[in-house]
Structure 1
Amino acid sequence: MLSPYISRKLGTGSPAEVLKLLNSNSENPYLIWNNGTRAELLEFLEIQQEGNIKRGENDKSFGAEFLFTDHSKELIVGEIFVRVYNEQPTYPLEFPKVFAASLLDYVGSQAQYLHTLLAMSQSNKVESQQHAERLRFAEMALEALRNVIKNNPGSESECIGHFKLLFSLLRVHGAGRVQQLVLEVVNTVTSNQECVSNIAESLVLSNLLLLLHSLPSSRQMVLETLYALTSNTKIVKEAMAKGALIYLLDLFCNCTHPQVRTQTAELFSKMTSDKLVGPKVRLTLIRFLPGVFMDAMRDNAEAAVHIFEGTHENPELIWNDNSREKVSTTVREMMLDHFKQQKDNPDVNWKLPEDFTVAYGAGQGELEVGGVFLRIFIAQPGWVLRKPREFLVSLLETLTELLEKNNPNGEALETVTTAAVCLFNAQSQLADQVPPLGHLPRVLATLSHKNNAVPKSSIRLIHALSDNELCVRSMAALETIGPLMAGMKARADMAGLACEALNRMFQKEQTELVAQALRVELVPYLLRLLEGIGLETLDNPSATKAQIVKALKSMTRSLQYGEQVNEILAKSSVWSAFKDQKHDLFISESQTAGYLTGPGVAGYLTAGTGTTVMPNVPPPVDNDSGDQG
């Protein structure tokens, strides 16, 4: 009759305090007390008193079943007026954990009803009102649960063991407010790692994923919740299995809300960074979107959305309206199909067909190595690559494999070689990384390949690397000069490029290279070329002769073997005619083009595209003092 709250006060508070409460008007989560309730209680007591005195009759339960009219309309859970608590959520509770537990019990008692509620026929008005009342009470209890967890840290642990119940309520499609409130409860508990672990154990994620499509107004909160949950590897794994990626891809590609798309990109980034499942997530995404997107998502989620919306043709991305449309449509169809199945059966898993890829119209027919489109890279060699080292490794591996084939695809070999040459021209420091990768011996071995196209590519690559100190040092430790000579003999048209490479190498003063040259009789061979024997096919033999003279002079500077070289030169009549001439005039940028026939301006053939690549500086030349020895 006095409410549990005042009854407790009788035992703990002072009589004055209790009397003051009983004679005041209060409305707080523990007590609704006003003129109406006082009058109602006094009236009840007077009737009982009168009945007892006059007729010897009174209430059989002695007031235990007495109910205030005001209280009868209220939802009371765990002695607390839920409506009032929701209006005053920061009110200090005596036992917040007990209240949270009571609310969970109440929600549990209503769960079955909520699931059948929407299937019930709303036949007559009275029934309909009862349904509305029960639904309203369930919503109030969930709101109170959210509030108690939010305002009383620690009380969220009461949810442990109840996540199957809570997540099941996310499936009450049609009762949007229930779904929204359960989502808010789940969102609030994700700050507690024990709760997250318990959610992972409960295997209930599919109920949350469905909301991404079925409850558009709550998408941002679902994404926020998933972001918090995916700190747990087990949840990332479950998300993969239950089709999170297809729902998220649909939001990223097709949603019209920019913030939702940015959040989706952030979530992808977090999932791909998971140590265990991340690589699998990335591989799945790459079957829908170019790899550039995953890197962009990691660096700047908003930028990833802009890239998706734009049109691009650069060495790392070919993307246009056609490719965007193709991906977006494919994703939307797959998502709707999966949603339909999952709505009927929460246990259904999502798996991509083995051979699945989205064929972007724009990327078709392009030669791509290490995530770079070679045709466009050759046209834009100055492009700042996202992963230059990875590209270098893939490019050298691809090139070496082509060089080692008996009959490589000529166009592919030409394109890959040109790309490698462009890479070393644009980023010369990358050549430092070539020796440890182990491709040099394999490239040198292909200089004597029976297929004529192979030595040409090998010479072009060696020429590009001959400017690098570390590469030349490595070549000095390998058999280099003999194979290079063999390559020059096989491809007389490459003599110009090979001679410039020799000149560059000997300038690096590697004694072992001069020793190799003497062993394989390079000096007499070069002198024969100086006579013009073997240079007939070149557009500009003068430039090649200039390189030969410079190479021979560099060899004479070797402290250990210079004398031997000089002895051979002294016996040559052709050398005396050339040694004192000034050759710098022959080595100009336009002359360098004579090294290769074809459209490539700096001597770099491009796979039939007519694209030209100009080096930034002419080849190195001796100065006067060097010429005079």
Structure 2
Amino acid sequence: NVYLRVYNNQPDYEISDQEGFCIALLKFIAELVQKWNSLSLDENMMHQCGTAIETSVTENGDISGSTNEGKEEDSLEKHNRGVTDGDSEVIMNLRSGLTSLQNLLTSNPGLAAVFASKERLTPLFECLALPVPPESNIPQICLSVLSLLTKHAPCLEAMVAERTSLILLFQILHCNRSCRDGALTVLYSLASTPELAWAAAKHGGVVYILELMLPLEEEIPMQQRAAAASLLGKLVGQPMHGPRVAITLARFLPDGLVSAIRDGPGEAVVSCLEQTTETPELVWTPAMAASLSAQLSTMATDLYQEQMKGRVVDWDVPEQASGQHVMKDEPQVGGIYVRLFLKDPKFPLRNPKRFLEGLLDQYVSSVAATHYEANAVDPELPLLLSAALVSLLRVHPALADHVGYLGYVPKLVSAMAYEGRRDTMASGQTTSRLQAEPSNQENSADSTVQTPQERVRLSCLRVLHQLASSTTCAEAMAATSAGTPQVVPLLMKAIGWQGGSILALETLKRVVGAGNRARDALVAQGLKVGLVEVLLGILDWRAGGRQGLCNQMKWNESEASIGRVLAVEVLHAFATEGAHCAKVREILNSSDVWSAYKDQKHDLFLPSNAQSSAAGVAGLIESSSSRLTYALTAPPPQPALVRLPSTAPALPSAPANPSGRHSYQHS
């Protein structure tokens, strides 16, 4: 026998049979809970009976209203006084029992093993649901006891075994302000279990936590909001059902905030919720926060009322919360707003690889969609996605290897080849239209308006041009199978495309680089289609002079100079030691044009950082020509852009000493 009041005043006193005392305490608490429930049931029955008598007397009209009211007040006073006396005794004993249990577990944590079953924990969770006066502090003491028990693994497993107990802990966040700290502590201890993660996602726990993080009117301490955010972060990280929690969160919050919750800490998440943010990963405003707070408040109230009916509600989250409607029409890939990314490509992304994979998937899909649903698909979407792809690969060059591993290179080559074939048909239609409207031919001749097919195929070329810097992707371009287009003939054809010649030439230079183990296959493709002869034809000053070349290739002065430089470098790359170098050298040595160009230094005609820039020559000159956009809707700014002079010196039209070496000095 232990006097609880004395023991609570001397909690350090050593009990002789602590385990027996613990079991007796648990039995004592269970009896008090049962007694309280009986008192509450009697009170409800008496209240219902009194209401029925009042209704009957009023209908019969035998007693006056004033007399009836007086008798009712006397009866209620007696009833309330009697129940209050009984309640006070039960509450006092229950509080003493829970306090003794708390002291006992604090002094001897090993006694938690007594509660390693669902039946032993039931009285404690029933205490949480008792409608006791707030000043009794019974729920707070009970939560402290549960917090002590969570340190014992078998007790933790027993707690999560009963789903209604977990839902009760979530409900406390909504309905009991004074117990939130204790409930958050217990929930955080249980957050690593799949059962709690499932309850959060499937039974509305996420709503109760978010309501705490985004209060509508109530002033919630920063510490509680941060603890709620930390709890969500731990639930999202739960291996089994954490992804389901993340999906549920994504219905309410932008991906950037979900990532912030996952990364933590809670204080940083709360700070993000209170700020106005516009980055590629997150767009968040006070108006969005207020809208979401109102929705969460209503949703939590409705859910709580349904759960109070005594059944487990399988809660289903709405498709999209109202807080995200501001950016619903903005293209978003992998949690990144594409247009905002193009404004700041160097923004430090949390997961650039995920963004890359999303861009590749959507880009290939959008290009394919234009083949069959030209009127239903935004023609600017492939261009926007390709611009983002190129910008991402420039800032993160190592990601290009990942593209090769994912197998997207053959898909991009096929898409470019298909768009090239479509453009042939589109060009025929354009020619027919111009013939039907001769009055517009002169104006059209001067214009360089590209067809949608031309812009899409150039976007494919731009992506391949950027990927060609990766040895892995360059080798993937050489791997062909039956029915798939070969990349070198396609690039040779692209040399004649409006706005694509420089891109195609530099892509050829990159793919046949010395580091490519499959370069022999690419050289063989070039020999088969006569690429060497085509490049020599571009260099031949006797084929009509510089002006004729510019008209044929649609080059301006600086582009013509750079194009010839790249053609020379491609031929040098083809002649590098390899399986087919003898045949290439034979063709070159028999050419007078090559004799004139092979020993010249052509660096003067390239931007000073063309060799080291991730964008290459094509990227460095893209802003120097307002006529050609290279299919980019929003080209990113180049921090170290070197513009070509408006009148760049050209290569000599006919060398005075074909076998000699011209010496150009950099100024």
Flag whether TM exceeds 0.5 (same fold).
yes
- Equivalent residue for 1:381? 345
* Aligned equivalent of 1:546, options 553, 565, 569: 565
The letter for the 1-side match of 2:461 is I
- Equivalent residue for 1:293? 257
> For 1:88-237, what aligned pairs fall within 5 Å after superposition?
88-115=10-37, 117=39, 120=43, 123-124=77-78, 125=81, 128-159=84-115, 160=117, 161-176=119-134, 177-203=137-163, 204-237=165-198
Structure 1 residue 361, shift from structure 2 partner: 4.0
**SS at 1:98 equivalent:** helix
Asked whether the 8 Å contact 1:503–1:551 carries over to 2, the reply is yes
Structure 1 residue 92, shift from structure 2 partner: 0.3
> For 1:199-278, what aligned pairs fall within 5 Å after superposition?
199-203=159-163, 204-254=165-215, 256-278=220-242
Q: Whole-Å Cα distance in 1 between the matches of residues 197 and 382 of structure 2?
A: 42
**SS at 1:384 equivalent:** coil
Q: Whole-Å Cα distance in 2 between the matches of residues 365 and 239 of structure 1?
A: 30
Q: 1:435 to 1:127 in 2, by over 3 A?
A: closer
**1:310 corresponds to 2:275:** yes
Q: Name whichever of 197-206 and 276-285 sits farther off.
A: 197-206
Q: Whole-Å Cα distance in 2 between the matches of residues 513 and 603 of structure 1?
A: 28
Q: Whole-Å Cα distance in 1 between the matches of residues 297 and 506 of structure 2?
A: 57
The letter for the 2-side match of 1:439 is Y
Structure 1 residue 597, shift from structure 2 partner: 8.4
Identity percentage of aligned residues? 28
Offset from partner CA, 1:536-581 (integer Å, 9 cap, x none)? 2557332222222222233233444344334434555655565555
The letter for the 2-side match of 1:100 is C
Asked whether the 8 Å contact 2:28–2:97 carries over to 1, the reply is yes
Offset from partner CA, 1:222-246 (integer Å, 9 cap, x none)? 1110111233323332343332111
Q: 1:89 to 1:547 in 2, by over 3 A?
A: same
The letter for the 1-side match of 2:552 is G
Q: 1:193 to 1:377 in 2, by over 3 A?
A: same
Offset from partner CA, 1:370-414 (integer Å, 9 cap, x none)? 111111111211122211222222222222223333146321111
The letter for the 2-side match of 1:181 is I
Q: Whole-Å Cα distance in 2 between the matches of residues 447 and 208 of structure 1?
A: 57
RMSD between superposed Cα atoms in Å: 3.1
**SS at 1:275 equivalent:** coil
Q: Name whichever of 153-162 and 80-89 sits farther off.
A: 153-162
Structure 1 residue 534, shift from structure 2 partner: 3.5
Structure 1 residue 467, shift from structure 2 partner: 2.0
* Aligned equivalent of 2:413, options 444, 455, 473: 444
Q: Name whichever of 235-244 and 220-229 sits farther off.
A: 235-244
The letter for the 2-side match of 1:485 is M
**SS at 2:347 equivalent:** coil
Q: 1:411 to 1:81 in 2, by over 3 A?
A: same
Greater RCO (Cα-Cα under 8 Å, separation 6 or more): 2
Q: Whole-Å Cα distance in 2 between the matches of residues 238 and 305 of structure 1?
A: 23
Q: Whole-Å Cα distance in 1 between the matches of residues 207 and 625 of structure 2?
A: 47
The letter for the 1-side match of 2:112 is E
- Equivalent residue for 1:476? 478
> Greater Rg, structure 1 or structure 2?
1
Q: Whole-Å Cα distance in 2 between the matches of residues 386 and 626 of structure 1?
A: 52
Q: 1:108 to 1:459 in 2, by over 3 A?
A: same
**SS at 1:154 equivalent:** helix
Q: Whole-Å Cα distance in 2 between the matches of residues 582 and 304 of structure 1?
A: 57
Q: Whole-Å Cα distance in 2 between the matches of residues 577 and 554 of structure 1?
A: 17
**1:557 corresponds to 2:583:** no
Q: 1:293 to 1:600 in 2, by over 3 A?
A: farther
> For 1:423-462, what aligned pairs fall within 5 Å after superposition?
423-449=392-418, 450=422, 451-462=453-464
- Equivalent residue for 1:535? 553
Offset from partner CA, 1:309-334 (integer Å, 9 cap, x none)? 22222121112222222222222221
Structure 1 residue 343, shift from structure 2 partner: 3.1
Q: Whole-Å Cα distance in 1 between the matches of residues 508 and 489 of structure 2?
A: 12
Q: Whole-Å Cα distance in 2 between the matches of residues 289 and 252 of structure 1?
A: 12
Offset from partner CA, 1:426-469 (integer Å, 9 cap, x none)? 11121122211111111111222214333211210111122222
Q: Whole-Å Cα distance in 2 between the matches of residues 331 and 433 of structure 1?
A: 40
The letter for the 2-side match of 1:345 is G
**1:504 corresponds to 2:510:** yes
**SS at 2:405 equivalent:** helix
Q: 1:363 to 1:601 in 2, by over 3 A?
A: farther
Offset from partner CA, 1:58-106 (integer Å, 9 cap, x none)? xxxxxxxxxxxxxxxxxxxxx2111111111121011122222222222
- TM-score of the aligned structures, taking structure 1 as reference length: 0.78
**SS at 2:208 equivalent:** helix
Q: Whole-Å Cα distance in 2 between the matches of residues 504 and 626 of structure 1?
A: 26
Structure 1 residue 214, shift from structure 2 partner: 1.9
Q: Whole-Å Cα distance in 2 between the matches of residues 140 and 400 of structure 1?
A: 69
Structure 1 residue 180, shift from structure 2 partner: 1.7
The letter for the 2-side match of 1:114 is W
Q: 1:100 to 1:387 in 2, by over 3 A?
A: same
Q: Which runs of 5+ in 2 are unaligned?
A: 48-75, 423-452, 481-485, 544-548, 611-616, 644-659
Q: 1:515 to 1:241 in 2, by over 3 A?
A: closer
Q: Whole-Å Cα distance in 2 between the matches of residues 421 and 208 of structure 1?
A: 49
* Aligned equivalent of 2:524, options 515, 519, 531: 515
Q: 1:580 to 1:615 in 2, by over 3 A?
A: farther
Q: Whole-Å Cα distance in 2 between the matches of residues 384 and 614 of structure 1?
A: 17
The letter for the 2-side match of 1:140 is S
The letter for the 2-side match of 1:336 is T
Q: Whole-Å Cα distance in 1 between the matches of residues 237 and 626 of structure 2?
A: 43
Aligned residue pairs, count: 541
Q: Which runs of 5+ in 1 are unaligned?
A: 1-78, 620-624
